[in-house]
Amino acid sequence: MSRGVFNSNNKVGDVIYLQKSGSTSSFDPLFNFSGLDPSRVSWRLDNGSDIIQIAGNSITYTGFTSDTSIRSIQIRGNKFTNANNIQMNNDNLYGDIDFSLLGSGDKTFYLWDNSNLTGITNPYVTGITSVYNVSSCNITGNLDMTPINGDITSFQVQFNPNLTGITHNTASTVTGSYYAYTCDLTGILNIPFSTPQSFRVENNDKLSGITHVLSTNVMSSYNADRCDLIGNHDMSMFTNLGGDFRIYSNSNLTGITHTASTQLFTIYYAYGCNLTGNHDISMFPNLGGTFWVGNNPNLTGVTHTASTQVFNHYNVSHSSPSTNIGLIGNHDISMFPNLGGNFRLGNNDRLTGITHTATTQVFTWYYAYGCDLTGNHDMSMLTGLGGDFRIYSNSGLTSVTHTASTQLFSNYNVNNCNISGVHDMSMFTGLGGNFNMSGNALLTGVTHTASTKVFTNYYINNCDIKPTHDFSMLSSLGGNIRVDNNIELVDIINPPSTEDITYYWAGNCNLNYIDFYPLSGASISDIQLQDNTMVVGDVNHILVDFYTLNNTYFQPGWSGVTLDISGTNAAPDGASGGYDGEGARSRLINDYGWTITSS
């Protein structure tokens, strides 16, 4: 029946039919109208036992029964074409709604949070739609927006798990925000109008592509992450891209094409994709904030242009080591004078070098481990280096050049490289935490300066430290200490530490007597001094020192220790060097619960 025939035969005028799921929650819709003589509507509600008639453009009704039945609702009025503000959010709407009677003119639709609302027949609108919000519903299949050919300020259809597509009118526009994330969009989404400032379609794992037209809008966000974008994603039509850009976790995305934009980027995420070859972003002179394109195993390079923006996160790393993945050759970031924060290039096994420029920004992470850094790695321009520093497992790395920094280090890992000669750490007053330079076969020494920071690990084992290792300036040395397997190490100068030491391993060196009295205030569990070719006098002297710490100085942290002083060391006796080593050994075992292995 046509609208004209209906109006001529029914005195109540037009009727919009809808349904509501059974619930005791409040039903509080609002229908506002434009015009000098605004129209009014009435409501016919089926509450399960009676029919309720309520007049008013806004109502609040709480009389629906609590069973699961579906209730019928009628909205009756004569001038639905003037309706401009429809608010029925969180009203338990059910099934499909036909709003075709609403006609043209300016509109606002608030229908969000109706989990059983499955479809909407839109009216023909030529005016401005301030808000079209059907988020957190259950819109199913394709949402036909072609009847709306005016401007939409805010379009929100996010959180509709069965929404597979959206069809727009080519004469329509969306100017403020376009939100269609966490739905089930499938195939290619066609955006026939200039993309609005905020565009979000993330978390649609069947969305394989998005087509855009030329857009000069300044972008505050563009999010298409966690979809299934395939091949190259063309964004060359965005002349003012910037803000928050996220297109990560698209495993079939092989490239992104950009055009020049001077807008400021606060986030650029394209990690966890399949970007292939060189990624050119040299058209962005205001890149900054967080830049993350890691976990793209076929990404061989990134081309930048100069930017003075502050970087708090720069990540082109890979989560797991593999062969022939990631960046190749030297990675040039000398165009960023404000690089800092979280810097990660780990597990790029063909990366041979990194070029920096001077920056005063503080580094909280610096990761370049598992790469192929070769020769000297120059970091003398990074005055704010600190935090978690890891450049281990670079077999061709022979040296690292630092400059003074007062930052606290929680990790300093340059193990399993090829560091040669004496490694100078005397510029770091905040060194602490986990220190590891083990497995550098040509490392002959490490130079420190005073630090009061607590150490949880200190490893220089399996190197070539010689003849003396002095870490007496590290007054809070503790945790696990390894200086073992340095076959030309003759002497160790211990610090005055009172920390807990889990183990102190200095076996398989060439050590003589070691003075442990500086560690008298510490607690210690395990000491390994085997295979040091110690003469009997030195063995006796050390054992007597350990007994004295217990018997004379009553140090509680030195009871129940496990000591291995066996192997190539001489066996203790009762007099050599003027010390009764055998007697001290016996009393340590019997009186203080030590476990001692000696030759």
Pairing relation of β-strands 243-246 and 299-303? Answer: unpaired
Is 316 within 8 Å of 299 (Cβ atoms)?
yes
| Integer angstrom CA distances of residue 217 from 179, 196, 200, 261, 459 | 16, 6, 15, 11, 55
Residue 99 banded pLDDT, cuts 50, 70, 90:
very high
Instruction: Give residue-wise pLDDT tens across range 402-420.
Output: 999 999 999 999 999 999 9
CA distance 442 to 453: 28
Task: With 0.95 as the threshold, say if the pTM is over it.
Answer: no
Using one digit for the tens of pLDDT, what is the confidence trace for 582-592?
Answer: 999 999 999 99
Is residue 493 a contact partner of residue 537, using CB atoms and an 8 Å limit? no
DSSP string, 157-211: --S-TTEEEEEE-TT-EEEEEEE--SS--EEEEE--S---SEEE--S-TEEEEEE
Instruction: Report the distance separating Cα 599 and Cα 595, nearest Å.
Output: 14
The stretch 390-407 carries a mean pLDDT of: 98
Token digits of residue 134: 């059907």
Q: Is the pLDDT of residue 7 over 50?
A: no
Can you give the pLDDT at residue 63? 83
Cα–Cα dist 426/327, whole Å: 32
What was the pLDDT predicted at 69? 83
- Supply the pLDDT for residue 18: 93
Q: Would you state the pLDDT for residue 552? A: 87
Query: Which contiguous run of DSSP H or E holds residue 131?
Result: strand 129-133
Q: How far apart are CA 51 and CA 72, in angstroms?
A: 10
Q: Which amino acid type is present at position 221?
A: S
Mean per-residue pLDDT, 406-435: 98
Place of tokens 């989560």: 319
Q: How far apart are CA 525 and CA 3, in angstroms?
A: 91
**Predicted confidence band of residue 79 (pLDDT cuts 50, 70, 90):** confident
The count of structural domains within the chain is 1
Instruction: Categorise residue 47: left if φ over 0, alpha if ψ from -120 to 50, beta otherwise.
Output: alpha
User: pLDDT above 70 covers what percent of the chain?
Assistant: 96
The per-residue pLDDT for 9 is 35
- Look at residue 67 and tell me if it is in a domain: yes
Compute the mean pLDDT over every residue in the chain, rounded to the nearest whole number: 94
- How confident is the model over 259-296, as pLDDT tens digits? 999 999 999 999 999 999 999 999 999 999 999 999 99
Does residue 135 lie within any of the structural domains? yes
- Computed from CA positions of residues 331, 409, 400, 418, in that sequence, does the dihedral angle turn out positive or negative? negative
Is 152 inside a domain boundary? Answer: yes
Model confidence at 50, in pLDDT bands (50, 70, 90)? confident
Q: Is the pLDDT of residue 68 over 90?
A: no
pLDDT confidence of residue 317:
98
Q: Is the predicted pLDDT of residue 2 greater than 70, yes or no? A: no
Which pLDDT belongs to residue 8? 33
* Boundaries of domain holding 138: 1-184
H or E stretch covering 596? strand 595-598
> Tell me, what's the pLDDT at 129?
84
Residue 312 lies in a domain: no
> pLDDT tens digit string along 200-248?
999 999 999 999 999 999 999 999 999 999 999 999 999 999 999 999 9
Q: Minimal CA–CA distance to 199: which of 166, 232, 162?
A: 166
- pLDDT tens-digit series, residues 498-509: 999 999 999 999
pLDDT confidence bin for 3, thresholds 50/70/90: very low
pLDDT, mean of residues 513-525:
96
* Cβ–Cβ < 8 Å for 160, 119: no
- Kindly tell me if the per-residue pLDDT of 449 is higher than 90: yes
CB contact at 8 A, 382 and 356: yes
- Asked if pLDDT for residue 574 goes beyond 90, the answer is yes
pLDDT digits (tens, 9 = 90+) for 173-190: 999 999 999 999 999 999
Instruction: For 209-275, give the DSSP string.
Output: EEE---B-SPPSEEE--SS---EEEE-TTBTT--EEEE----TTEEEEE-----SPEEEEE--SS--
Share of the chain above pLDDT 90, in %: 86
By mean pLDDT, which of 105-119, 260-274, 339-353, 419-433 is the weakest? Answer: 105-119
Q: What are phi and psi of 555, to 5 degrees?
A: -80, 110
Residue 374 lies in a domain: no
Which pLDDT does position 582 carry in this prediction? 98
Q: What angle do CA 545, 547, 553 make, to 5 degrees?
A: 85
- Per-residue pLDDT at 23: 66
Concatenated DSSP letters of 502-520 = EEEE--SS-------GGGT
Is residue 585 assigned to a domain? no
Residues in Cβ contact with 9 at an 8 Å cutoff, skipping those fewer than 6 apart: none
How crowded is the C-beta side of 221, counted as CA atoms within 13 Å? 13
- Sorting pLDDT into bands at 50, 70 and 90, what band is 107? confident
Whether 19 is in a domain gets the answer: yes
Secondary structure E strands in 304-408: 311-315, 328-332, 339-344, 350-355, 363-367, 374-378, 387-390, 396-401
- Does any domain span residue 590? no
Q: What is the pLDDT of residue 24?
A: 65
Task: Report the pLDDT value the prediction gives residue 1, as an integer from 0 to 100.
Answer: 27
Q: Which residue has the higher pLDDT, 467 or 56?
A: 467
pLDDT per position as a tens digit, 282-333: 999 999 999 999 999 999 999 999 999 999 999 999 999 999 999 999 999 9
> Contact at 8 Å (CB) between 98 and 121?
yes
